[in-house]
Amino acid sequence: MYLDASANALKAKSPSDFNVLAKTRDELVSKAGHDFMTTVSMAGQHPNSLHVLYDACNTISSLKYEGAEGFGKMVIAPKSHPNVKMTMELEKPIHIKDFRKVRKFLELADHKQLILSDSVLIYGLCQLKGKYNYHEESLFIVNFTKHFHWEVTHHEHVMVSVAFRMPDLYNEKLNREKFFSSLRRLFSGIDKIRLNTLWDITMEATKQKHGTILAISSKADEEAVRLSSQCFKIRPIRINKDIIHQITSIDGAVLIDTDCTCHAIGVILDGIATSNGDSSRGARYNSAVRYYEYMEHKAQTVLVVISEDGIIDLIPNLKPQVKHSAINRHINELAKLSETDKFLRKSFNRLMVFFQENDFYLSQKECTMVNKLRRIIELKHKNSNDGIRMIWDNLLPNKEMNEAYYLKE
């Protein structure tokens, strides 16, 4: 959209007309959302579908039925699509612009039964079947998540989210790579199959509109017993994406192990007050921080905190892993610099910026070495006047640092 606006501006007849952003930001974003939904509409193969769907979804998401918000999913695809199985067909399809009828019909939809539409007509309820060829881009799902909120998914990937008629390009709220890396470091020996299953469960839990906590523990069974007076302790059961919405719908955490076996729901997490809390965050986040610090040396533990405002936190929030060889290489460069007679100020400052930015990863020995080399260089060239002198603080080791923060090389 910005490029289109820029191109149009270049065609302006006079300088007074040269305004790249003649439209406001919100107008550009809204137009981009409308154009994107035009592409989605084409999947339905209806001849009159091109300019209906975006405004229709906005209106449907704004309507309540008997005071209740609308939840449910609508498939955009032709009736003849090979991955669609009709389970209930209307004798007379509903036009998507008949908003109140569509909103009422949405009450029939759930996570298994979806509304089927070609983006103009609603044909009834359907289920998805078979293996979808996502390269064809022939089937999209509109998911009405809450009042004035909806999103479009394709092959289980969110393409765009819309809130109060304003689209927003989807950003993954929890980084998959960070999730996998953290669990590998905290749960020794965990395999890729379990990681993938835990990721799927976590992603499903993030859809819980009221927020929740997933407590993943190597001693989930023991914790369920210890906390039995402040939770619903259940017979261990392997959970999947189909049940996670139900068990996260009540207050409290869901206690599971790395096999996705659930041992308790509605868990009120305990712990002691800590300086690592955040007064600007809610009780859910701070209780998770307290619980982690209480359990840190008792069991391998990870908590996924989903707040009502959509923020997702992974506790502990581990720093990324780095290559130890990179640190050694920079220390060697600094050592060589300390042996030269010529003061290479830019190289010196570049190295010191690296050490300041990566001070967390330096051991006591490395901090001492860098501090010593820095002082040698500064003393040797204290009378140099070839540029602005920067003052560098002594590096100090971080007590949280350990060798698990180094990548295997």
Give the residue extent of every domain in the chain. Answer: 1-169, 176-315, 324-405
**Per-residue pLDDT, 3:** 52
d(CA 38, CA 55): 11
Comparison of pLDDT for 1 and 72, the residue scoring more: 72
pLDDT at 131 over 80: yes
**Per-residue pLDDT, 373:** 95
Q: Per CATH, the architecture of 176-315 is what?
A: 3-Layer(aba) Sandwich (3.40)
Provide the percentage of residues in the chain whose pLDDT is more than 70.
90
**Per-residue pLDDT, 309:** 67
Q: What angle do CA 99, 102, 107 make, to 5 degrees?
A: 135
Confidence of residue 216 (pLDDT cuts 50, 70, 90): very high
Confidence of residue 170 (pLDDT cuts 50, 70, 90): low
| Lowest-confidence segment of 21-25, 209-213, 215-219, 279-283 by average pLDDT | 21-25
Phi, psi at 142, each rounded to 5°: -95, 120
| Lowest-confidence segment of 122-131, 207-216, 383-392 by average pLDDT | 383-392
**Per-residue pLDDT, 337:** 92
C-beta of residue 268 within 8 angstroms of C-beta of residue 290: no
| Lowest-confidence segment of 2-6, 22-26, 183-187, 363-367 by average pLDDT | 2-6
Confidence of residue 49 (pLDDT cuts 50, 70, 90): low
**Per-residue pLDDT, 16:** 43
**Per-residue pLDDT, 70:** 84
| Lowest-confidence segment of 50-54, 237-241, 391-395, 397-401 by average pLDDT | 50-54
Give the CA distances from residue 388 to residues 132, 254, 384, 385, 395, in Å, rounded to whole numbers and listed in that order. Answer: 62, 56, 10, 8, 21
pLDDT at 238 over 90: yes
Query: How big is the chain, counted in residues?
Result: 409
Give the count of beta carbons closer than 10 Å to the beta carbon of residue 350. 12
Averaged pLDDT for residues 97-109? 95
Confidence of residue 17 (pLDDT cuts 50, 70, 90): very low
**Per-residue pLDDT, 29:** 85
d(CA 149, CA 285): 24
**Per-residue pLDDT, 22:** 59
pLDDT at 10 over 50: no
Joined tokens for residue 129 = 């079947």
d(CA 329, CA 280): 41
Confidence of residue 55 (pLDDT cuts 50, 70, 90): very high
What value does the mean pLDDT of the chain take? 88
| Lowest-confidence segment of 45-49, 63-67, 114-118, 300-304 by average pLDDT | 45-49
pLDDT at 198 over 70: yes
**Per-residue pLDDT, 387:** 66
d(CA 74, CA 69): 16
Confidence of residue 14 (pLDDT cuts 50, 70, 90): very low
pLDDT at 274 over 80: no
Q: Is the four-CA dihedral 73, 78, 83, 85 of positive or negative sign? A: positive
**Which of 137, 160, 156 lies closest to 57 in space, CA to CA?**
160
This prediction has a pTM of: 0.57
